[in-house]
Amino acid sequence: MNLWSPTTLKEILAKHNLTLSHGLGQHFLTDFGILAKIVEKAEINSDNAVLEIGPGAGVLTRLLAQAAKYVVAIEIDKKLLPVLAETTGDLGNVVVVNADAREIDFDRVMTERTGGEFGFEGKPYLIVANLPYYATSPLIFKVFEEGYRVSSMTLMMQKEVAERITAKPGSKAYGSLSVACQYFSEPRIVLKVPRTVFFPPPEVESAVVRFTLKENCLSSEERLRFFRVVRAAFATRRKTVAKSLAGALNLERHYVEEVLLKVGINPNLRAEQIPPESFYRLSQEVVGGKW
């Protein structure tokens, strides 16, 4: 079965009376060379467990299964389950879970689906995915906010989002997503992908970003403060960071300025001028229970 052929994919979908959902961002990658490069960039070895989000018709899933010890594929669309059964049912190291990846506990799913026989309970795992564009940012934030046992992520996404993730302080593209990704990981664009290699082709160009997650011991409370402060700082980009924080967090301006100065941040800077590490120091500076 040549899943890397648009003709074959059309035949499989027609067999199951399926049409692709624009609302779910269903664009299937059909270029074998690019699929193979994604697996290569993910640096998967035979001892790894992989979480795939949005397997679609199972095109990437089959290649992941060849490289990894075990693959858990999370698919939101029930209508694609018969397709996945046909395209991946012969693979003994693949399990498909029908769920919305935005709403499930990744660690729990990986423990339940790869524990016991495969011995992955409590161990780090990789995420590899051709993400639906509408869910890219929420899913990335989810990994960092929850502190999952993820060692790396290799994600296909809209090129514009990839550029935001890797943007440097002081640039127009730098924002809360940049801060989160660069504080909790080392992201880099490893592959650019033209729209012509998808079925059906999307309206935008794509890119693959590899995230190597950093080791950190932040508690749930520390993570909560970090993201609250970052989002508040970028709430009004045209204002200074002092004004943005004071307004979004309902704090006195003079108090915010004092805290900013204490951690070495000029209160007159804008959020897009502040590096990720400074946001961490700022978020942990709690005085009198405020923040």
> Which residues, other chains included, contact 192 with Cβ-Cβ below 8 Å and sequence gap of 6+?
159, 205, 206, 207, 208
**What is the Cα–Cα distance from 21 to 36, expressed in whole angstroms?**
25
Q: Is 288 annotated for ligand binding?
A: no
The single-letter code of the amino acid at 160 is E
Nearest Cα to Cα of residue 158 among 190, 118, 205, 117: 205
Q: Is 147 annotated for ligand binding?
A: no
Q: What is the DSSP letter of 165?
A: H
Q: Is 107 annotated for ligand binding?
A: no
Q: Is 75 annotated for ligand binding?
A: yes
> Which residues, other chains included, contact 241 with Cβ-Cβ below 8 Å and sequence gap of 6+?
233, 260, 265, 267, 269, 270, 271, 274
Nearest Cα to Cα of residue 29 among 51, 49, 4: 4
Task: Report yes or no: 52 and 64 within 8 Å, Cβ to Cβ.
Answer: yes
- For residue 175, CA distances in Å to 114, 184, 236, 275 come to 36, 15, 11, 10
User: Helix, strand or coil for residue 119?
Assistant: coil
Q: Is 58 annotated for ligand binding?
A: no
Task: Report yes or no: 51 and 74 within 8 Å, Cβ to Cβ.
Answer: yes
Q: Is 29 annotated for ligand binding?
A: yes
Binding positions are 27, 29, 54, 75, 100, 130
Binding positions for S-adenosyl-L-methionine are 27, 29, 54, 75, 100, 130
